[in-house]
Amino acid sequence: MLRYLHSGFNTLLKRPKAPSHSEFLGTKPLSTNKILELFTGSGGIVSAAVIALGFLVATLILLVIGRNPSGMYQAILQVVSGFDSRRGTWNTRYVGEWLVSSVPLILCGLSMGFAARSGLFNIGAEGQYIAGLTAAQLMAFYFPPVPVLHWVAAVLAAIFAGAAWGGIAGFFKARFRVSEVVATIMMNYIALFAHRLVTMGIPGSNTFRTPDFHLTASLSSAALASITNGSRLNYGLWFTAASVFIYWLIMEKTTLGYSLRAAGFNRDAAFYAGMPVNLNITSSMAIAGAFAGLAGASVSLGVFTNGRVLAGFDNYGFDGIAVALGGNCTSIGITLVGLLFGMLKSAQPLMQSRQIPREITSIIMGLVVVFISLRGGILIFIEWRLREKLRRNNSHNAKDGAGS
């Protein structure tokens, strides 16, 4: 339906319709057609291909520096299954820690992806994550220690704090046309230093941590810890699963999601169709911030027993950009890529024990982003060729009309 909306807006402005990708590709050899059609048409296949290519390049790098790539794959196997191929033992704690590492990556990926589906670029997930983390820690210390109600209040505070922090950038974008890229980058630093100022004001805090908070604020789960042999896996896992479902539900099954996607597809068309574009921008950034704020609560209350005073960024928000891009901003794609990146982060110490540099995981993650970006560059090139072909056709038709 978004395509119909776009074509209707083109008709309203009396624009000539550009030829489709398939029409343009029809002028190319068959093999080139298939490659370009595959590369530009299927996001899932492209994501799988670039991830495989990232691992391939990493394998070649290890061979060049004289390391055995099998150590990397053994570490990955141990993380995802708990099986240590060197000793022949099983330990499900590795699986639990893998999921713990994946939770904030998936949530921050949802934050970036939700804004991107609405035509916005949310680089502020890191600041929204910090806002949520700070709010959760304050509630952990100052809310009455009532079982269940305590951690529920802390999680809700984190969600609202992240939503407010994202909503501010969305409001500036909608009301004053301030670039959300610039606004969110600056707000990341405001969030970091405001966090330090507020958290160090908690009695007993120093420059890197606070006292332990009450157990009623913790998101730890005895059942999940038992299943995963004492890992730090916590209720954040269920919050993440619920967030993935909510993301899919809003974007694919609701009027709000349709309106947000329409504005992202063509803001002017959405405006002329009567959609509240400015409200959509603010709402989109607020919902995106809520996902990142929940990530802050999942880390602060689920992984640690004391509050943290951040000296720098945790980088979950920035890694979430790569997760969203690799997952094509879809709920299932973001989940899978978040699990992949969480696996790589969890495998770093195991790789080091096998003489594999831990930096190889960052190389793989970076290559995924680079290859995904190349796809975007190819799409830009194809669209440029389409416009050039259309211009030449119009010029030729004009000359024929003048000659007759």
Two tokens at 285?
């950034």
* Structure confidence at residue 268 (pLDDT): 84
The pLDDT of residue 43 = 67
pLDDT of residue 49: 81
Section 148-159 average pLDDT? 98
Higher pLDDT, 385 or 291: 291
**Model pLDDT, residue 391:** 85
Residue 318 dihedral angles phi and psi, to the nearest 5°:
-70, -40
Angle between helices 277-302 and 149-176 (to 10 degrees): 150
pLDDT value at 79 more than 80? yes
Sequence-distant (6+) residues with CB within 8 A of 207 are 200, 309, 311
Gyration radius from the chain CA atoms: 24
* Alpha helices by DSSP H, 149-221: 149-176, 180-199
Please give the mean pLDDT across all residues of the chain.
88
What pLDDT is stored for residue 291 in this prediction? 98
Which residue, among 280, 265, 88, has the nearest Cα to 167 in the 3D structure? 280
For 325-382, the pLDDT digits (tens) are 889 899 999 999 999 999 999 999 999 999 999 899 999 998 888 888 777 777 777 7
Contact (Cβ atoms closer than 8 angstroms) between residue 127 and residue 165? yes
Which residues on adjacent β-strands are paired with residue 220?
234
* Cα(301)–Cα(319) distance, integer angstroms: 21
- Residue 238's pLDDT is 98
In the prediction, which pLDDT does 14 show? Answer: 39
Q: Find the mean pLDDT for residues 75-94.
A: 94
pLDDT at residue 164 above 70? yes
Q: Give the pLDDT band (50/70/90) at residue 48.
A: confident
Task: With a cut of 90, say whether residue 269 has pLDDT above it.
Answer: no
Which comes out higher in pLDDT, residue 9 or 394?
Answer: 394
Phi-psi region for residue 316, left (φ > 0), alpha (ψ -120 to 50) or beta? alpha
Q: What is the DSSP letter of 16?
A: P
H-run or E-run covering 249:
helix 236-253
pLDDT of residue 13: 37
pLDDT of res. 50? 83
pTM metric for this prediction: 0.86
> Sorting pLDDT into bands at 50, 70 and 90, what band is 115?
very high
pLDDT at 31: 53
Residue 87, CA atoms < 13 Å, CB-side half-sphere: 9
DSSP state of 305: S
Q: What are phi and psi of 274, to 5 degrees?
A: 90, 15
Q: Report d(CA 266, CA 166) in Å as an integer.
A: 22
Q: Which residue type sits at 317? A: G
User: Which position has the higher pLDDT, 139 or 267?
Assistant: 139
Residues in Cβ contact with 248 at an 8 Å cutoff, skipping those fewer than 6 apart = 331, 332
- What was the pLDDT predicted at 149? 97
Residue 194 tokens read as 């405001």
Confidence of residue 68 (pLDDT cuts 50, 70, 90): very high
Instruction: State the amino acid at position 69 in one-letter form.
Output: P
